[in-house]
Structure 1
Amino acid sequence: MNADVSTGPSAAARTGPGSPARPGPRGPVEAATAMFLVGTLAAVAGVIGDYPVYGGQALRHLLAAAALLTVARVAGLRFVRLTARETALLATLSLTGLVIFNVCVVEATRHGGPALVGTVLGTVPLALALLGGRPSPRLLGAATLVAAGATVAAGLGSGDLTGLLWSLGALGCEVCFSMLAIPLLPKLGAVRVSAYSVTLAVPMLVAAGLLVDGTAMFRAPTVPEAAGLGYQALIVTTVAFFLWYDALPRLGPGRAGLFAGLIPVGAIVTGAVLGLGAPSAPDLLGAALVVTGIVVGLSSSGSPAGRARRPAGAGRTAAEGSRPTGAG
């Protein structure tokens, strides 16, 4: 490919609107909001902690799937027929990034507590920077700074080896959640990738729940549990998924991954707002390191890691995706 992508119509087609070569506020704002919302999960975890795990997650994803499919229909986004490779990618994304991720987080929390999980997930920016291409020293340093800040904010905890292994599993699934979506976004767009992956997760979670809990996987939720599950479905899953998948091709995995450091920051702020505890000095230091790392990373425009490799058709916006074959 021609190395000169700075001028001409073909450059716009390769980079696409809002891509790192044409910076704008939309990608950073969406990525920051998405990861902050994911961080708010900590505030509702206790509310739904007594509800059967698989049943609760199945209900959450079922509600989110209904919302996302409704949005796709209202927006006029018709169903897109996928190739066998694309179907396999989407199924793997749903299995790893949604189903197994939730299992890993629950098990890691049981063995090591949320601090251990937050510490390991704090390395997501570094992992995405390494996997997103050839990171510049500036971007790699920024990712390391964000990971350090997330670790300080989350705390080191006192987990055991089992908890650490489950946390590492969650880290791998979180990376899959982004990397497996990149080849799908140009064709499907953010809404359809979110809707299709969430929909596929429902039968997987139901099957797992029936194997583990049997018919006890479902029961009528209490009012607080229903509110917590509804928040997870509509705000975290529906809104945050769309925002993240819309931001990902605009920023590239390396730069977008920096915002994963906001997950523990979101938990700290939400806990303080809801009166669950005032932030400590390490919390504030970690938040400051995360913000500094994000600013440093976003200033490294034009770095190889900041440009996701985009297949043909990537010039279309991630929110819309390509039109179905034969759509006219």
Structure 2
Amino acid sequence: MPVTLPWRRPARATAPGAVPAAGAWDRWRGAVAAATAMFCVGTLTAVAPVLHRYPLYGGQALRYALGALVLLAVMRARRLPHLRLGGRELALVVLLAGTGLAAFNAFVVESTRHADPAAVGTVVAAVPVVLALAGPLLERRRPSPRVVLAAGVVAAGAAVAAGFGGGSPLGLLLAAGALGCEVAFSLLAVPLLPRLGAVRVAAYTTVAAVPLLLAMGYAADGPAALRVPAVAEAAALGYLALVVTAFAFFCWYDALHRLGADRAGLFSGFLPAGAVVAGLLLGTGTPAVAELAGTAIVAAGLALGLRGR
């Protein structure tokens, strides 16, 4: 008797640039990769306080430089040859690095100057909704009503976990810029993944982000943008480079190729879970009732969005 597996879809023709049809095992693997990536990125908030005294953009440039070295070493170990990028691919890589990495950091920092961090987090929590709508349109198919509904539930859960804050219109506008950059981090990678693969996309993007962040750092802090980090700062930068950049970026792009932007976007709701667990392990915070309630709502949205037809 045949067994119906989760996320089994009827076969369909794929449009240019679309995510190819995948079996149930690929979708399970994509789900694990997406959850792992977002969980790792969520731990950033527990590690970031160590770097409060280090110049922001210079620190991010070091983080991505170290992450790029790790990813390039992985390419070498796996014997993945470098591919010559066409003009369109090169433009997408530079645009991806400029928006999803460099500009995202700038928008987040500037938005927190004019709005409560919780308000910024609430705006960025709308990422699953935007990806649920824009991802399928990019693949030339209609958005799934179930996934759109689930994305709304996940976004609501993430907003509850982050807390509803306040701020000026300028702060919320800058937060919307961060939201756009976070969406670009996924959507701009979709056309690159079929030929380049997850490792190359992550490596080339982080390489391209380094000079952009160095330029931003020099504009903001001058020669003081870079200095020798203290021991704790070096450990934090190493963690960000290895786990939050190299490992998480690879996992995310691997999941994006297997699940599509709409379903992968649902796993953005794992960000608060990573922050809560990391805070507990490092002793920098304990989960509040809102965070636990938000995590439960996120789990319900994931269950809804990942159910097979």
- TM value normalised by structure 1: 0.85
> 1:36-115 residue pairs with structure 2 within 5 A?
36-115=39-118
Shift of the 16–218 alpha-carbon distance from structure 1 to 2, 3 Å rule, reads same
Are positions 1:168 and 2:169 aligned together? no
Q: Partner of 2:50: helix, strand, or coil?
A: coil
Whole-angstrom CA distance in 1 between matches of 2:34 and 2:61:
25
**Structure 1 unaligned regions, length at least 5:** 302-328
Per the TM alignment, residue 16 of structure 1 is displaced from its structure 2 partner at its CA by 4.6
Whichever residue aligns with residue 271 of structure 2, its letter is I
d(CA) in 2 for partners of 1:96, 1:296:
31
Give the letter aligned to residue 11 of structure 2. Answer: S
* Equivalent residue, structure 2, for 1:312: none
Q: Secondary structure at the match of 1:82?
A: coil
* Partner of residue 11 from structure 2, selected from 6, 11, 20: 6
Structure 1 residues 285 and 230: CA distance shift in structure 2, 3 A: same
What's the offset of the Cα at 1:262?
1.2
Displacement of 1:212 in angstroms is 1.9
- Any idea what the Cα deviations from partners look like across 1:28-61, whole Å, max 9, x if unmatched? 0000000011111000111101110111011111
- Asked whether 1:222 is paired with 2:230, we answer yes
Secondary structure of residue in 2 paired with 1:61: helix
Q: Offset at 1:24?
A: 3.7
Q: Is the 8 A contact 1:146 1:290 kept in 2?
A: yes
SS at match of 2:34: helix
Aligned counterpart, 1:276: 284
| Cα distance change, pair 186–7 in 1 and its aligned pair in 2 (3 A) | closer
Question: Which residue does the alignment assign to 2:135?
Answer: 132
Which has the larger displacement, 101-110 or 225-234? Answer: 101-110
Measured at CA, do residues 79 and 225 of structure 1 come closer, stay the same or move farther in structure 2, by a change above 3 Å? same
Partner SS state of residue 285, structure 2: coil
CA-CA distance at 1:21 after TM superposition: 6.9
| 1:159 CA displacement | 2.4
Q: Is 1:260 paired with 2:261?
A: no
How far does residue 175 in structure 1 lie from its aligned partner after superposition?
A: 0.4
Measured in 2, the distance between the counterparts of 1:5 and 1:119 equals 36
> Is 2:210 aligned against 1:207?
no
Q: How far apart, in 1, do the equivalents of 2:267 and 2:214 lie?
A: 31
**Is the CA contact 2:60–2:213 (under 8 Å) kept in the aligned structure 1?**
yes
**Shift of residue 22, structure 1, vs aligned partner:** 6.4
Aligned residues: 293
Secondary structure at 1:132's aligned position in 2? helix
CA apart distance, 1:82: 1.3
1:114 CA displacement: 2.7
Calculate the aligned-residue CA RMSD, in Å: 2.0
User: Quick one: which of 129, 138, 158 aligns to 2:166?
Assistant: 158
Tell me how far apart the structure 2 counterparts of residues 6 and 15 of structure 1 sit (CA, whole Å). Answer: 12
Is the contact between residue 71 and residue 246 of structure 2 (CA under 8 Å) also seen in structure 1?
yes
Residues 186 and 110 of structure 1: is their aligned pair in 2 closer, same or farther, counting only changes over 3 Å? same
Per the alignment, in what secondary structure is the counterpart of residue 120 of structure 2? Answer: helix
Contact kept, 8 Å, 1:248 with 1:256, in 2: the verdict is: yes
Paired with 1:138 and 1:154, the residues of 2 have a C-alpha distance of: 24
**Pair 7,154 (structure 1): closer, same or farther in 2 beyond 3 Å:** closer
AA aligned to 1:254 is D
Separation in 1 of the partners of 2:12 and 2:288? 49
Q: Taking structure 2 as the reference length, what is the TM-score of the superposition?
A: 0.90
